[in-house]
Structure 1
């Protein structure tokens, strides 16, 4: 799994962090998403897919 984010689309909702805190974080100054791990382990795959599904801005892309 390869994860990428589009920070320009992010609306700082924080849904991704709630779903997969080991993979996503938010910048302190504006809440924009930060990718912590672009190739998360298989045991986090469901959480990452959930994060992408709940992102209101569709800022998360996943390649399997």
Structure 2
């Protein structure tokens, strides 16, 4: 928090709060994007495993 008070003293409260708001928004965006990427990757991996564990017999897919 010390950096916030330093920034507030240099540029004023409005600019400091705008900066904090932008930092929080970017952080939130990055967290959501990474979470989405992990979920999609895990789903893709599960689908890939499901396909690789099936065998084609008699024209239909059967689970092993």
Regarding TM over 0.5, the answer is no
Q: Which has the higher helix share?
A: 2
* TM-score with structure 2 setting the length: 0.23
Give the alignment's TM-score, normalised by structure 1: 0.23
The structure having more radius of gyration, on CA atoms, is: 2
Q: Larger relative CO (CA 8 A, sep 6+): 1 or 2?
A: 1
